[in-house]
Amino acid sequence: MHSVRDFNAYLEQSGDRLTLDPASADLLLMALLETKLAEMDAALEGRAGRGRGRGTRLHQIVRRYQKMTGGQSAAET
């Protein structure tokens, strides 16, 4: 299981300006990423990209979490 601190360290190491706030609902988001990554990705499919604009903050976080974990949530391992 990854923590907000782990994810923020990964984001910082990869030069990303995006971060999660451990004193906010981002804690719940992290729990959802750990258990529902595939479902979240499927729900966001096709909502961003060429001709659609930049993805929402949620979409960006899901994509970066997938990169960090190799696309697997804790529930899928």
**Tally of domains within the chain:** 1
- What DSSP assignment string belongs to 48-75? SBTTTBSPPHHHHHHHHHHHHHTT--GG
Question: Which residue, chain included where needed, has tokens 């990964």?
Answer: 10
**pTM for this one?**
0.82
What pLDDT shows up at residue 20?
96
pLDDT of residue 28: 95
Buried b (16+ CB within 10 A) or exposed e, 6-27: ebbebbeeeeeeeebeeeeebe
Range of the domain at 17: 4-76
Check residue 49 and give its pLDDT.
Answer: 63
CA dihedral 72, 65, 4, 29 (to 10 degrees): -90
Residue-level pLDDT, tens digit, the chain, 77 residues:
789 999 999 999 999 999 999 999 999 999 999 999 999 999 988 776 667 767 789 999 999 999 999 977 665 55
